[in-house]
Amino acid sequence: MTQAQTDLAALHDRAQAEQELFDLLRIPSVSADPAHAPDMARAAEFLRAKLQGLGFTARVDPTAGHPLVYAERLAAPGQPTVLIYGHYDVQPEAPLEEWETPPFEPTVRDGRIYARGATDDKGQAYAHVRGAELLLRAGELPVNVKFLLEGEEEVGSPNLEAYLQEHASELKADVIVISDGSRFAPDVPTVTYGLRGLSYVEIHVQGASRDLHSGSYGGAAPNPINALAEIIAGLKDDQGRVTIPGFYDGVEELTQEEREMWARLPHSDEEFAASIGVPALPGEAGYATLERLWARPTLDVNGIWGGYQGEGSKTVIAAKAGAKVSMRLVPGQDPERITRLVQDYVPTLAPEGTKVEVRGLHGGQPVKVDLDNPYVQAADRALTRVYGKPAAFARTGGSIPIVAAFRTLLGAPVLLVDFGLNEDAPHSPNESFAVEDYHNGILTSAYLLQELAK
Amino acid sequence: MTQAQTDLAALHDRAQAEQELFDLLRIPSVSADPAHAPDMARAAEFLRAKLQGLGFTARVDPTAGHPLVYAERLAAPGQPTVLIYGHYDVQPEAPLEEWETPPFEPTVRDGRIYARGATDDKGQAYAHVRGAELLLRAGELPVNVKFLLEGEEEVGSPNLEAYLQEHASELKADVIVISDGSRFAPDVPTVTYGLRGLSYVEIHVQGASRDLHSGSYGGAAPNPINALAEIIAGLKDDQGRVTIPGFYDGVEELTQEEREMWARLPHSDEEFAASIGVPALPGEAGYATLERLWARPTLDVNGIWGGYQGEGSKTVIAAKAGAKVSMRLVPGQDPERITRLVQDYVPTLAPEGTKVEVRGLHGGQPVKVDLDNPYVQAADRALTRVYGKPAAFARTGGSIPIVAAFRTLLGAPVLLVDFGLNEDAPHSPNESFAVEDYHNGILTSAYLLQELAK
């Protein structure tokens, strides 16, 4: 342990760091549900006040949607400027009945904090706030630090690009740090150098102008649910490949080096399958599991509805049915182009007597970060100080649609240093964050700012 | 107009008949929803009290589910005994937002009574109650009359068979009369001689043991919604034929005579399609529309659910998905056998990594009534007296699962004389019943009892 490490760790108030995070987790800041707008405002103010208290210049900025928090402390002349991005909004809690403890009452069990947003992204974002606090307790921040904490990540950050454009000079930074994903494994400190993009659409199928009695009309009326099933089934072939014409155009193929590097990572298909309780890991033929998760595009239905969903049997032919469908995209694919392809193709699959409409909901660019970047080396050193071993270089299957916007609009490289784990179950009932991962995140954040100063 | 016709029509109090039906329609007797149990009891008592007031011996009999009403007036020694069956339970009102006026506040617009249950079956069943009242105002019932009004038709009459078996001698009748469907067309008095049967199942697909983030798992985790879509799409071929092995075994083919008789009925595919707002009438290849509706089996998804159905976009791979699927059956098909075929076959379609379970919900036997039956001729005469033209002989695509039970357990032929119309929209929002159809039903019921006495 170096002297710097000892000093910072000794200054770290674990109990206080936990209590503050719990207070933040108690605010049900669900961005997808307009009814939670007051909670969004409360969460933003919570963060602003905290950063102000630490000595940052902090404010809550309104947007056309939910507000975001901006804070800066520029007290290291001649040193680099680091922009830390996170989000305080969370996924909807549904299905509520599957939570073992209430989603907005953080509860520690077996060393894990259970709450909606525990890992995604309140816990990881707040680790950076406490990391800065640690350095300030020891003296001053060794680099210039800017925080940008938004409230619309879980609904596609519809207002962030405009904000970045409007505040480009204020947000100017040498490097952008984001912790909003998962390390590769519990014992593997990870720098993530690739994210998948996203195209998210809704498919709406219309049959008759009203619900029909299946006795009187069954056999002659179009059934929009059967039609929707046919359409969805037609979007993949028996090799698990997406059938939308042009979907794979431009897809960047994996290099042999990446395939070999990933093959050396500690991964077991059997354990992966067991961790989610399935007997097999279906997917596109010809690619290993990590390759499919990180470097191949997908098509998943995220929700479907139509007709009678209640108890018992209702003999109805519904007038309409719908589904939410998302495609994870990889470098070489453009979300807008993919959404257009889907909007052009899917209506051509409409079975006789039905009308099909595809609405684009949101998208995000896929990203790959340059591994030769010097800031990547600083992250590697910071992680080595916390974990006692060098970082692995992995990609992730998730999307942070605004990472591409950061690169384009602010012109700075993006460092993805994640504190969470897949088993934290972000987006699921019983989302959690290991208490130790939270504290390691706080230390990693502090060390990273030190390493970036060198 | 005969003397008998004039007399009865003059005795008919239209306003009172309407007000009484409205009172019954105001009771939300939704059998599928356990929360409505007190309303079921209220509706049953309403009918019992009315029949008691007319001079019937009437009672409410409990069952393992909702109660049924039994009433009898056996004041015509030497004359036939007629059992009139109807049901006082109604379909769920969902989706409530599509009703123009509240489903349980009957409202007359353009000569139609709008309310859940207006035509199915409160309006049609109550027409028989008022028909008996008309005859009693004129003197005495010309035949012995028994009423059996149940509260579980819309949930598959799970307790009716046991009731029929237990009360077989009490319910003994020469003919059973049911009005729970639709006439062929507004100007066509109809005797319905065939009903389709039903097999209703739920398909449940399980993927992972919990909901998953589609970023972290998309490409390797089984998706139960995609799987369900594949399964459903696989249940029909591109000719609209059901692919379940053995499904068509034993299906009674249409005779040339029936095809010709139906081809002469006033039917237009264009008008039929326009009436439900669709550009085409898809279905099994090789059969005309009426043939598909009345004499061919179908497979329709009646409801589907899975994943996120709320506002906005949630990037989740659901742990499970499900669908309600019903098959209309025709003479030669047995519901229990068909349900078994589905339960055997559908799980074999489970895509890799998923588990599929099929639960049988309920079934009903298909029925064909003998056209040579003398009671059919009596119905034809009664209809001719009301409408001034002979009846058409049609089938219907709907199911009254207990019709087969009546034939088997009580050993009597079943007369299906319907007062409603398809455009009444049973099972849909804005269900209605034409005011004139209600009054014609009352007269038809009274004349039919007279004709059956001859």
Per the residue annotation, which of B153, B180, B424, B437 is the catalytic one?
B153
Domain A197-251+297-364 part of CATH 3.30.70.360:
yes
Angle between helices A14-25 and A122-138 (to 10 degrees): 140
A153-161 average pLDDT score: 92
The two tokens of residue B323 are 């669908």
The two tokens of residue A224 are 């929009």
Chain A residues with CB under 8 Å of B394 CB are none
Chain B residues with CB under 8 Å of A225 CB are 232, 300-304, 323
B268-296 average pLDDT score: 96
pLDDT band at A390 (very low <50, low <70, confident <90, very high): confident
A255-262 average pLDDT score: 90
The two tokens of residue A366 are 């896929």
Question: Which residues does residue A81 pair with via DSSP β-bridges, in sequence order?
Answer: A144
pLDDT at residue A368 tops 90:
no
Give the pLDDT confidence of A99-108 residue by residue, as tens digits.
999 999 999 9
Nearest CA in chain B to A156: B313
pLDDT band at A4 (very low <50, low <70, confident <90, very high): low
- CA–CA gap between residue A163 and residue A146 (Å, rounded): 15
Q: Identify which of A295, A298, A289 has the alpha carbon closest to the alpha carbon of residue A257.
A: A295
Question: A142: distance to nearest CA of chain B, Å?
Answer: 34
Nearest CA in chain B to A312: B32
The two tokens of residue B380 are 């034809």
B170-188 average pLDDT score: 92
State the DSSP code for B2.
-
Phi and psi at residue B4, to the nearest 5°: -60, -40
pLDDT at residue A454 tops 90:
no
pLDDT at A1: 40
pLDDT at residue A338 tops 80:
yes
B214-240 average pLDDT score: 96
Nearest CA in chain A to B221: A281
The two tokens of residue B139 are 């003197």
pLDDT at B409: 87
> Would you list the domain boundaries of chain B?
3-195+366-453, 197-256+295-364
Chain B residues with CB under 8 Å of A65 CB are none
- Pair type for strands B197-206 and B355-364: antiparallel
- CA–CA gap between residue A19 and residue A37 (Å, rounded): 24
Angle between helices B122-138 and B14-25 (to 10 degrees): 140
More confident residue, A236 or A181: A236
- CA–CA gap between residue B30 and residue A310 (Å, rounded): 12
The two tokens of residue B351 are 């895509």
Contact across the interface for A316 and B303, Cβ inside 8 Å: yes
Question: A284: distance to nearest CA of chain B, Å?
Answer: 7
Best of B308, B361, B365 to disrupt the A interface (most A CBs within 10 Å) is B308
Q: Identify which of B409, B415, B411, B417 has the alpha carbon closest to the alpha carbon of residue B444.
A: B417
State the DSSP code for A62.
P
Question: A66: distance to nearest CA of chain B, Å?
Answer: 14
pLDDT at residue A317 tops 90:
yes
A63-90 average pLDDT score: 97
Superfamily grouping for domain A3-195+366-453: Zn peptidases (3.40.630.10)
Q: Tokens 């071993």 identify what position?
A: A389
Best of A268, A305, A315, A320 to disrupt the B interface (most B CBs within 10 Å) is A315
Out of 3.40.50.970, 3.30.70.360, 3.20.20.70, 2.30.30.60, the CATH code matching B197-256+295-364 is 3.30.70.360
State the DSSP code for B390.
P
Q: What is the DSSP string of B130-186?
A: HHHHHHHHHSS-SSEEEEEEES-GGGT-TTHHHHHHHTHHHH--SEEEE--SB-SBT
- Pair type for strands A68-73 and A144-150: antiparallel
pLDDT at residue B447 tops 60:
yes
Chain B residues with CB under 8 Å of A308 CB are 92, 94, 302-303, 324
Q: Tokens 């990547």 identify what position?
A: A376
pLDDT at residue B160 tops 60:
yes
| Burial (CB count within 10 angstroms: exposed 0-12, middle 13-18, buried 19+), residue A355 | middle
Length of chain A: 454
pLDDT at A398: 85
> What is chain A's Cα-based Rg?
23
Residue type at position A362: H
Four-point Cα dihedral B440, B445, B448, B449, nearest 10 = -150
Give the pLDDT confidence of B303-343 residue by residue, as tens digits.
999 999 999 999 999 999 999 999 999 999 999 999 999 99
Chain A residues with CB under 8 Å of B156 CB are 313
Contact across the interface for A318 and B302, Cβ inside 8 Å: yes
pLDDT at B5: 52
Report the largest interatomic distance among the alpha carbons of chain B, rounded to a whole angstrom.
81
Contact across the interface for A212 and B310, Cβ inside 8 Å: no
Residue among A301, A311, A315 minimizing CB distance to B427: A315
pLDDT at residue B286 tops 90:
yes
pLDDT at residue B404 tops 90:
no
Q: Tokens 């933003």 identify what position?
A: A44
Q: Tokens 């139960």 identify what position?
A: B224
DSSP reduced 3-state for A160: helix
Sign for the pseudo-dihedral over CA of B277, B280, B285, B286: positive
Contact across the interface for B220 and A324, Cβ inside 8 Å: no
Element (H, E) at B126: helix B122-138
Phi and psi at residue A320, to the nearest 5°: -150, 165
To the nearest whole percent, how much of chain A has pLDDT over 70? 98
Question: B167: distance to nearest CA of chain A, Å?
Answer: 27
A94-121 average pLDDT score: 97
Chain A residues with CB under 8 Å of B276 CB are 208-210, 212, 217, 221
Chain B residues with CB under 8 Å of A91 CB are 314
Note whether B25 and B83 are within 8 A (CB): no
Q: Tokens 């494994």 identify what position?
A: A185
Contact across the interface for A316 and B323, Cβ inside 8 Å: no
Average per-residue pLDDT in chain B? Answer: 94
pLDDT band at A96 (very low <50, low <70, confident <90, very high): very high
A157-163 average pLDDT score: 94
- CA–CA gap between residue B55 and residue B343 (Å, rounded): 50
The two tokens of residue B290 are 């009426």
Give me the active site residues of A, please.
89, 153
Best of A225, A238, A290 to disrupt the B interface (most B CBs within 10 Å) is A225
pLDDT band at A6 (very low <50, low <70, confident <90, very high): low
- CA–CA gap between residue A42 and residue A34 (Å, rounded): 14
pLDDT band at B1 (very low <50, low <70, confident <90, very high): very low
Contact across the interface for A300 and B32, Cβ inside 8 Å: no
Residue among A208, A219, A305 minimizing CB distance to B292: A219
Give the pLDDT confidence of A43-58 residue by residue, as tens digits.
999 999 999 999 999 9
Give the pLDDT confidence of B107-130 residue by residue, as tens digits.
999 999 999 999 999 999 999 999
A53-65 average pLDDT score: 97
Contact across the interface for A313 and B361, Cβ inside 8 Å: yes
Contact across the interface for A427 and B218, Cβ inside 8 Å: no
pLDDT at residue B148 tops 60:
yes
To the nearest whole percent, how much of chain B has pLDDT over 70? 98
Contact across the interface for B328 and A207, Cβ inside 8 Å: no
pLDDT at residue A169 tops 50:
yes
Note whether B311 and B415 are within 8 A (CB): no
Question: B409: distance to nearest CA of chain A, Å?
Answer: 24
pLDDT at B6: 54
pLDDT at B86: 97
Contact across the interface for A277 and B328, Cβ inside 8 Å: no
Question: A273: distance to nearest CA of chain B, Å?
Answer: 8
Note whether B114 and B21 are within 8 A (CB): no
pLDDT at residue B143 tops 60:
yes
Chain B residues with CB under 8 Å of A296 CB are 219
pLDDT band at A401 (very low <50, low <70, confident <90, very high): low
- CA–CA gap between residue A275 and residue A421 (Å, rounded): 12
